[in-house]
Amino acid sequence: MDTASTPLSPSGNGNPLLVHIAAELGLTKREDQLLVGFALETDNEEINALDKMRRKNLDIIVLNSLRDAGAGFGGDTNRITIFRRDGDKTTYPLESKKEAAIHIVDNIDSQFVTRNS
């Protein structure tokens, strides 16, 4: 069985040899650690992303939307929404992947600043 090419199912009912890495990290996360995850959802985007954040004990989850032409895999642009455990939600317009990455890093940085102030 080629486990590298077998996708993980969101429900955990996929290949039993594969481990949900983010969920495992969430179980052992310390107070001084920040856990960030990503969600690519096609239906019920926000509900599914927030559920994943809760289940995996994430501090931040970045929702990648496929609703815009050119967004997601294979394109040069993306539209993301960043959810934080504190309830903050920021939705960004369709933009370059570089700009989206800067928003993600800025959010992670602000979480560290908030925790350490």
Q: What is the mean pLDDT of each run of 10 residues along the chain (117 residues)?
A: 42 53 85 90 90 94 82 81 95 94 95 76
Distance CA 79, CA 93 (A): 6
Q: Which domain holds residue 80?
A: 35-115
Distance CA 103, CA 20 (A): 25
> Domain holding 88: CATH number?
3.40.50.10300
Using left for φ > 0, alpha for ψ between -120 and 50, and beta otherwise, residue 74 falls in left
Q: Is the pTM of this model over 0.75?
A: yes
Q: Is 29 part of any domain?
A: no
Q: What pLDDT score was predicted for residue 7? A: 42
Q: Is 55 part of any domain?
A: yes
Q: Is 60 part of any domain?
A: yes
Instruction: Find how far residue 60's CA is from the centre of its chain.
Output: 7
Q: What pLDDT score was predicted for residue 41? A: 82
Distance CA 105, CA 111 (A): 10
Q: Is 21 part of any domain?
A: no
Q: Is 3 part of any domain?
A: no
Q: Is 6 part of any domain?
A: no
Report the domain count for the chain.
1
Distance CA 12, CA 95 (A): 32
Q: What pLDDT score was predicted for residue 72? A: 67
Q: Is 13 part of any domain?
A: no
Q: Is 9 part of any domain?
A: no
Q: What pLDDT score was predicted for residue 3? A: 40
